[in-house]
Amino acid sequence: MTASDGAAPDLVWFRHDLRLSDHAALLAAIRSRRPVIPVYILDDSAGDNWRTGCAARWWLHRSLSALTAALEATRSRLILRRGAWDDILSALVRETGAASVHAGRLYEPWADAKDRAIAAALPVPLHLHRTTTLFDPSSMRTRLGTPFTGYTPFVRACLAGDTPAPPEAPPKHIPAPATWPRSDTLTAFELQPSDPDLPRALAAVWTPGEDGARRRLATFMDSALDHYDTGRARLGAGGTSMLSPHLRWGEVSPATVWHAAATAAGHRGPGLEAFQKEMLWREFAIHLLRHHPDLPDTPLRSTFTRFPWRHDPDDLRAWQEGRTGYPIVDAGMRQLRRAGWMHNRVRMIVASFLVKHLLLPWQDGARWFWERLVDADLASNSASWQWVVGLGSGSAPYFRVFNPVLQGERFDADGSYVRQYVPELARLPDAFLHRPWEAPADVLKNADVILGETYPVPIVNHTAARVRALDAYAPFGRPDA
DNA sequence: TGAAATGTTGGGGCG
DNA sequence: ACGCCCCAACATTTC
């Protein structure tokens, strides 16, 4: 028997912070010197109409499994429950006689009201901690006291303030309660995708959980960080950190990543600076969502609610399934389906293609990404789509239309990315890989490509689509006009 | 974190 | 030697 046995426990409610290291809520509970009961509650109604997508649910399943194992290694447990957050928490407090609840704060539009309601309903205090961001997205303000609208001033403010606090080590010991409440099984969460092939494809790329995150971070530090400023343009694996899903689920804290990078980059070079600025895009998106609750659905420029989006289910489906006839677009969309992830450069290319070449609503693209990305995050996803359409201040101007051929040739010059995800084009020579419709008949024949049969003819002509997009967007003008 | 059209410059071929 | 044209390379502007 330890001193803590029999005392009222604290609940540590895990949400978007599925880790033991640098976890402010967990550490606060341990410092209270009470027994700790770690809890995860699956509430499918919590995200309003943004229920966790299928790829992200796969990730969550694996991450919860990893967190359970990590807690059991410290002789603790993870209590799983399915149901409404407030109901389950009230029940758990009642069952366990908990003295308080500690959790990481969320910044989604619905989170505040929900947490306030929970706090009001609970007979014990709900303590919220910052576990998912480097800076506090609520308190950051311009000199005028207004929220930031542009990325650059936001970055200046981040870098002018105190550097993020260094991460804290994981607890060596998590005091256990005398008795554990009952737990659902992970299987009962029904997080596995209906497509039986998806888990194998995802598992080939990803290792969800804190250990997987730590390995991914270490690999990135060793191999790519120093040249990140130029190397991230490479579309094949190895140029980027691929930490986004680990950060999304909080398997590693942003402070851990930030400080690891700053320490590992032996010389403070452009690689480190570029990487930290990417992390600040993530913070900026959270800041934006914090102050624009309708960011996921509603254009930041209200005039765009009247934009004449086309409605063409066939074109939308061709885009989703990666058969637009533009190899770089199709490669990206197929990487999304197979790996639950896409290189950021390609996200911009395919997004531009949807909203410019096809004139289809960005909300449809955002929804598809939401369903298919393992790193699907409401803030980053929404902000990025708005950025591509040209809706935020400082975002892409309306006349910026990516040419998928030039982008492919510039960033996938050796064709390895397209060949990996569009294997039916693999035997085309580099000169025609990104423009198969221009290949002479004998070149196509030698590569076993039959346009319109083994690979689609482009669903739109680039030049015509570009003109159409410029005509459609011009009346809506510049983003900051 | 564009692309395409248009403008400018300078070298080389050629009559 | 000269003017002319072509065109690549680069810069500027326009969408």
Asked whether residue A410, judged by its CB, lies under 7 Å from any atom of the DNA or RNA strand B, the reply is: yes
Q: List chain C nucleotides near protein: any atom < 7 Å from a Cβ.
A: 15
A38: β partners: A12
Under a CB-based contact definition with an 8 Å cutoff, are residues A183 and A61 in contact? no
For A83-100, the pLDDT digits (tens) are 999 999 999 999 999 999
Amino acid at A145: G
| Set A278, A371, A409, A424: catalytic member | A278
> Is A430 part of any domain?
yes
For A431 and B5, how far is CA from C1' in angstroms?
Answer: 25
Identify the DSSP state of A7: S
For A365-421, the pLDDT digits (tens) are 999 999 999 999 999 999 999 999 999 888 999 999 999 999 999 999 999 999 999
User: How far apart, in whole angstroms, are the C-alpha atoms of residue A156 and residue A178?
Assistant: 50
For A68, A247, A259, A341, the CA distances from A242, given in Å and listed in that order, are 24, 10, 17, 9
Amino acid at A306: R
Q: What pLDDT band is residue A269 in, cutting at 50, 70 and 90?
A: confident
> Is A439 part of any domain?
yes
A278 carries an active-site annotation:
yes
Residues A150 and A287 in one domain: yes
Taken as a whole, chain A contains a residue count of: 481
> Is A175 part of any domain?
no
The structural domain count of chain A equals 3
Q: Give the pLDDT mean for A131-148.
A: 95
Closest CA to A68 of A14, A11, A32: A14
Q: Give the number of C-alpha atoms closer than 13 A to the C-alpha of residue A413, restricted to the C-beta side.
A: 3
> Is A107 part of any domain?
yes
Asked whether residue A27, judged by its CB, lies under 7 Å from any atom of the DNA or RNA strand B, the reply is: no
Q: What six digits make up the tokens of A285?
A: 């998106």
For A111 and B1, how far is CA from C1' in angstroms?
Answer: 31
Q: Domain limits at A435?
A: 302-476
A273 carries an active-site annotation:
no
Asked whether residue A477, judged by its CB, lies under 7 Å from any atom of the DNA or RNA strand C, the reply is: no
Identify the DSSP state of A107: -
Residues A19 and A157 in one domain: no
Residues A260 and A310 in one domain: no
User: How far apart, in whole angstroms, are the C-alpha atoms of residue A170 and residue A342?
Assistant: 31
Q: Give nearest nucleotide to A394 (CA–C1').
A: B1
> At a CB cut-off of 8 Å and minimum separation 6, what does A480 contact?
A393, A394
Residues A307 and A397 in one domain: yes
Whole-model pTM: value is 0.96
User: What local confidence, expressed as pLDDT, does residue A480 receive?
Assistant: 53
Residues A256 and A306 in one domain: no
Amino acid at A241: S
Under a CB-based contact definition with an 8 Å cutoff, are residues A110 and A354 in contact? no
Residues A140 and A75 in one domain: no
Residues A350 and A372 in one domain: yes
Residues A90 and A223 in one domain: no
Residues A327 and A276 in one domain: no
Among protein residues, the one whose C-alpha sits closest to the C1' atom of B4 is A463
A403 carries an active-site annotation:
no
- For residues A382, A385, A387, A388, the Cα torsion angle rounded to the nearest 10 degrees is 180
